Structure 1
Amino acid sequence: MKEKVLKVMEEIIRPQLAKHYGDISLVDVKDNVVYVKLLGACSGCPSARFTIEDVVLASLQNEIPSIEKVELVQEVSSELLDMAKKILRKGE
């Protein structure tokens, strides 16, 4: 299944993201769920959730109907995010 996902990413998804200076990386495929990281301008973009649903999931399901879900893997650990939130809240 990974090979099929990589092919769809390379031929369909990556060119769409490149138009917006973004990219995508496959992390894993488990139980019909695809785990990805968004890169470039797409990384951290407020529209990342819509990109995952409207571009990535739709393209994958069109080519591989057994794909149930696409999960965005955070590049920053949850511990680091929690620490940053604490620091930022002190400035309020």
Structure 2
Amino acid sequence: MSTRVELPQHNEPAQGKTLTDRVAFVIDRIRPAVQADGGDLELLEVTKDGVARIKMHGACVGCPSSDMTLRIGIERNLKDRIPEITAVEAVE
């Protein structure tokens, strides 16, 4: 799985929405890159501490690159676009 997931700058989450809605917006923009490698993402929740809990599906499960994808691709994109996000956690 590729670890590089870039979003165009015009794909910014709308302000005024809930934190979960804004995270879902970014996840929906990341999803096609993950699906292109045979995987998928499911946002389970965003905790009150700003931790986005994500379940990875398909080719992401057991893939040696999935942790890199989570940290470098997903977490970085979420933190860059949504300052309230403190971490991203993979849930099995």
Equivalent pairs counted in the alignment come to: 73
1:43 aligns with 2:61: yes
Mapped partners of 2:31, 2:80: distance in 1: 15
Structure 1: 5+ residue runs without aligned partners?
75-92
- Aligned-residue sequence identity (percent) comes to 37
Q: TM-score, normalised by structure 1?
A: 0.74
Does structure 1 residue 16 correspond to structure 2 residue 49? no
Q: Secondary structure at the match of 2:33?
A: helix
> Aligned equivalents of 2:57 and 2:23: distance in 1?
17
Q: Residue 55 in 1 paired to residue 85 in 2?
A: no
Q: Which residue of 1 aligns with 2:42?
A: 25
Cα deviation, residue 53, structure 1: 0.3
Q: Which structure is richer in relative contact order (CA contacts within 8 A, separation 6 or more)?
A: 2
How large is the Cα RMSD of the aligned pairs? 0.9
Matched, 1:67 2:81: no
- How far did 1:65 drift? 1.7
In structure 2, distance between residues paired with 1:48 and 1:19:
14
Q: How far apart are residue 43 of structure 1 and its match?
A: 1.5
Q: Which has the larger radius of gyration?
A: 1
Higher helix share: 1
